[in-house]
Every structure is written in structure tokens, then in C-alpha cells.
Amino acid sequence: MTNRQKVIFLMGPTASGKTALAVELRKHLPAELISVDSTLVYKGMDIGTAKPGPDELAQAPHRLIDIRDPADPYSAADFCVDAEREIADIHAAARIPLLVGGTMLYYKALLDGLAPMPEADPAIRAEIEAQAAERGWPSIHAQLAEVDPDTAAEIHPNHSQRVSRALEVYRASGKTMTELRRIQQAEAGPAFTERFDVIQIAIAPRDRRVLHQRIALRFDQMLEQGLIDEVKGLRARGDLHPALPAIRAVGYRQVWAYLDGLEGKGPAMSEEELREKGIIATRQLAKRQITWLRGWPLLRWVHTQSESGENLNLQEIVKNTLNYIGTETI
């Protein structure tokens, strides 16, 4: 037993059922939901982010949704400030913060803290991206591995945004991300897990093929619901571009390229090719999320299938999750 206040993390790969489980858990726990998603923060990006709809949000409000314009980048550091504020507010109301989402970097930033990093340098970033266009991102990743092997080991060679930022930090400051993190840890106060009783849960099917089927179904639904028109509306603003984190998000990046092709600004792409690229990119995202979670300490898995492979209904999944959480209130 502990006197520390509870915080629940509900993680998992995209399309694993996190939101549905969180909404249902709120019926059983004195919990308030905090979104941990780097795309749900953006206004006007609803379909491609699988943002909870008005009915879901009325039933179970999510904090940190629709708080930024897509032209205004949102960082892990921004999330930590916002999440700490919301956690304190929820605890002050004698309720439990339930953080739900799939942006693993945000959870890690809360748990481990963030080192002070130099601000983005557009000139350095443009230089890195030009080199990547010429040689490929694995070549840039190799450059990062030479100066900061620890950070390079954490990042997939094709995760362009993170590879670029890590190398940019080194070129701008002369210090690697690993060095800056060590400095931060030496100066940091009590860790998140020392301040709170953190229950960390991940939801996923046992069979990766089931997740792939859900990803394909959801992307098809996004296309049917008007994802292409949603991106057309974002393009029509005139102040957004593919280098912004919001537009680089999975799904949006592929549709943007598809529309570039229609306008003669890039390679032509059929709608079927768009669908295939979107589904592949989403599978790659899910794979990265699962890779993060496999090495996650103190993690408790909630599977959406029985050991025999049978799909569990939502109430069975809720019951298994509550066994981990316990039903005592704060």
C-alpha cells in the first residue's frame, strides 16, 4: 500500500482499443481522462487522428484535445507542462488521472523528465533534410550513431523527425541528447514515480494480424468519412506545409502527398496507392509503439484476445484491467 496519489497510464499501439477501454473504465473508477497523443492536440484534425466524437467526449471528456492550431507545433516539453497541470487539477478534485494514448515519447518524458534542448534551428534542419533527400535517412541515422550511439539505438533509422532532431541538437549545441539527459537527471528533483503511484497498462491483441486488420479497417473508415476532404481544407488555409509536425502525422502526410500529385506538385498516386501507403505507414507506427512497449519497465499487459485466440468483449477487457488497477479510490 502507498499514500502516494494514483496516476494510471493506458498505452498501446494505434487501433488497439485504448479509447473505448478508457471511456468504459471511467464508469467504474473516479477517473478523468488526459489524452496522450501528439496529433489529437490539433484543432481541425479529427478524421485522420480518430479523434473521439462529440458523443464520446460528452460521455467521457478528454483533456489536452483540440488545444493547438496545426501551424503551432506541440512538443514533449509542452505536454509535460500541460499534463502536470491537469494531473494536479484532477487530484485536487479527489479523482484519478487516467492518461490514455499512444505517444510513447510523452509518457517517457513524464517518467524520466526532459533535458533542456536547444531551440529548433531551421538552417541546420534544412541542411539535414537536404542530405537525407540525397542519401536517405539511414545515412543520417548512421551520422547520429557516430556521435550519439545511445540515442541512435533508441530511434528507427527511418523515423525521420526524431533522427533529424537528435542530429540537429548535436550540431546546434555541441552536446548530444544523451549528454544533455545526463545533465538533466543530475539536476532533477524527485522522479514522477517517486511522487505518484503510477499504474502502467498496455492494451493489444495477442495476434499481430488482428491489429493489422483493425488498422486497415480504420483507415478505410477514415477515407469513407472524408479524410481527403479534411486534408484539402487544411491545405486551403495556405499557412500549413508538410514540414510541420501536424502534417507529418501518419495519414495526413500520405494524403498531402496524394493531393500534391493531383496538382502536379509531386508524383501521381492513385487512391488505391494512397490507401496502401496509409495502411503501411500506420502499421509501421504500430510496430514502433510495440517496440517501445516491449522494453517498458513495470508494464502490465491487457490482451484483447484469450490465450486460445478468441476475441474478448469489452466488458471482459475492462474486468481484466480493473484487476490490475484495483477499485479503491484515492
The verdict on 228 and 318 lying in the same domain is no
Residues 87, 12 share a domain:
yes
Q: How many domains does the chain have?
A: 3
Assess whether 262 and 232 both reside in one domain: yes
Q: Is 35:62 a contact under the CB 8 Å cutoff? A: yes
Q: Which pLDDT score, from 0 to 100, does residue 330 have?
A: 40
* pLDDT on residue 1: 52
Residues 143 and 34 in one domain: no
C-alpha cell at 200: 502502467
> Which cell numbers hold the place of 32?
478523468
Helix extents (H) in the chain: 18-25, 54-59, 76-92, 104-112, 122-135, 137-147, 149-154, 160-173, 177-187, 192-195, 208-225, 227-237, 252-262, 271-294, 314-325
CATH code assigned at 133: 1.10.20.140
DSSP secondary structure string, 23-53? HHHTTTSSEEEEE--TTTTBTT--TTTT---
pTM of the predicted structure, to 2 decimals: 0.84
Burial 289-311 (b: 16+ CB within 10 A, else e): bbebbeebeeeeebbbeeeeeee
**Cα 231 to chain centroid, rounded:** 20
Residue 24 and residue 38 in one domain: yes
As a whole number of angstroms, the distance between CA 90 and CA 29 comes to 13
243 and 112 in a common domain: no
Q: Tell me the CATH number at 43.
A: 3.40.50.300
In terms of domains, do 25 and 80 share one? yes
Pairing type for strands 31-35 and 5-11 reads unpaired
Find the domain containing 279 and state its range.
211-284
For residue 319 the three cell numbers come to: 474486468
User: Which amino acid makes up residue 297?
Assistant: P
C-alpha span between 112 and 233 (Å, rounded): 38
DSSP string, 271-289: HHHHHHHHHHHHHHHHHHH
Q: Are 106 and 36 in contact (CB under 8 A)?
A: yes
Residues of the chain with pLDDT under 70: 1-2, 186-189, 327-330
Q: Give pLDDT, residue 188.
A: 61
Sign of CA dihedral 45, 209, 138, 135: negative
For residues 168 and 124, the answer to whether their CB atoms sit within 8 Å is: yes
Helical (H) or strand (E) element with 63: strand 62-63
